[in-house]
Amino acid sequence: MKEIVISKNGFPIRLPDERWIHIVENHDDLAGHMDDVLEAVEDPDFIIQGYNDALIALKEVRKDKFLAVVYKELERADGFIITAYFSSKIKFGREVILWRRS
């Protein structure tokens, strides 16, 4: 299974085992969705600004529900996924949209 994808900015983004375990332990509804988490980073519908230089890739699951994947792009062309969760609380009027699917 491919556990590295390329972000819209061209960074390889890793999903380390330790992060995946953290995600499914804290968000058990994501168990079995590793491919969806990786795809959200590689082919998002939106990218919004997160905290502390993190980015949040959003993939629409259905109307008003998104898979949100928080990740960091580091220097030296490297990056990693921090966490992921399903959310219906995305308010685009309050978010800084960095990229959107055209």
What's this model's pTM, rounded to 2 decimal places?
A: 0.94
Q: Is pLDDT of 81 > 90?
A: yes
Q: Which residue has the higher pLDDT, 76 or 18?
A: 18
d(CA 98, CA 18): 28
What is the tens place of the pLDDT at every residue in 15-65?
Answer: 999 999 999 999 999 999 999 999 999 999 999 999 999 999 999 999 889
